[in-house]
């Protein structure tokens, strides 16, 4: 069953998402949902930090030869994250008045960096 196998990249990304989720939970954030998909994009983690809804992009790079994990979140990716966040808010009205922010949780060469307000909308 070839379709059941996950690529190494998917396994690495999944491990990064799990690590991010655990650290954010330990920091007091609450999990709203994982891997939110819509036609315009995908959000790895949606968390709640008090009254703020936090959309988290998780990136993992085993080395920085082609740039760091943070550098891989370009303008187009930011647009897709914003599109997915808007879709989420439109379909989950209980959060429509919540403050929102976009964080990134990046792992490059095994070093973790959690950037709050990684970019503005």
Question: Which tens digit of pLDDT belongs to each residue from 64-73?
Answer: 666 556 666 7
Domain assignment present for residue 3? The answer is no
Into how many domains does the chain fold?
Answer: 1
88 lies in which domain range? 8-119
Enumerate the β-bridge partners of residue 100.
53
Percent of residues, the chain, with pLDDT higher than 90: 60
Domain assignment present for residue 1? The answer is no
Dihedral sign from CA coordinates of 40, 88, 3, 61: positive
> Which of 71, 52, 51 is closest to 61 using CA atoms?
71
User: What is the rounded distance in angstroms from the CA atom of residue 107 to the CA atom of residue 10?
Assistant: 15
Domain assignment present for residue 84? The answer is yes
Domain assignment present for residue 74? The answer is yes
Question: Which tens digit of pLDDT belongs to each residue from 44-63?
Answer: 999 999 999 999 999 987 76
Domain assignment present for residue 2? The answer is no
**CATH number for position 44:** 3.40.1350.10
pTM: 0.85
Rounded to the nearest integer, the mean pLDDT of the chain is 86
């Amino acid at each position: 069953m070839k379709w059941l196998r996950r690529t190494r990249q998917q396994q690495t990304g999944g491990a990064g998402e799990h690590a991010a989720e655990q650290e954010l939970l330990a920091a007091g954030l609450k999990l709203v949902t994982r891997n939110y998909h819509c036609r315009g994009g995908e959000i790895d983690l949606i968390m709640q930090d008090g009254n703020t809804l936090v959309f988290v992009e998780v990136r993992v790079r085993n080395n920085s030869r082609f740039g760091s994990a943070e550098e891989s979140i370009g303008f187009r990716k930011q647009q897709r994250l914003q599109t997915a966040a808007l879709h989420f808010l439109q379909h989950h009205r209980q959060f429509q008045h919540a403050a929102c922010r976009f964080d990134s949780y990046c792992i490059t060469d095994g070093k973790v960096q959690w950037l709050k307000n990684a970019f503005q909308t």
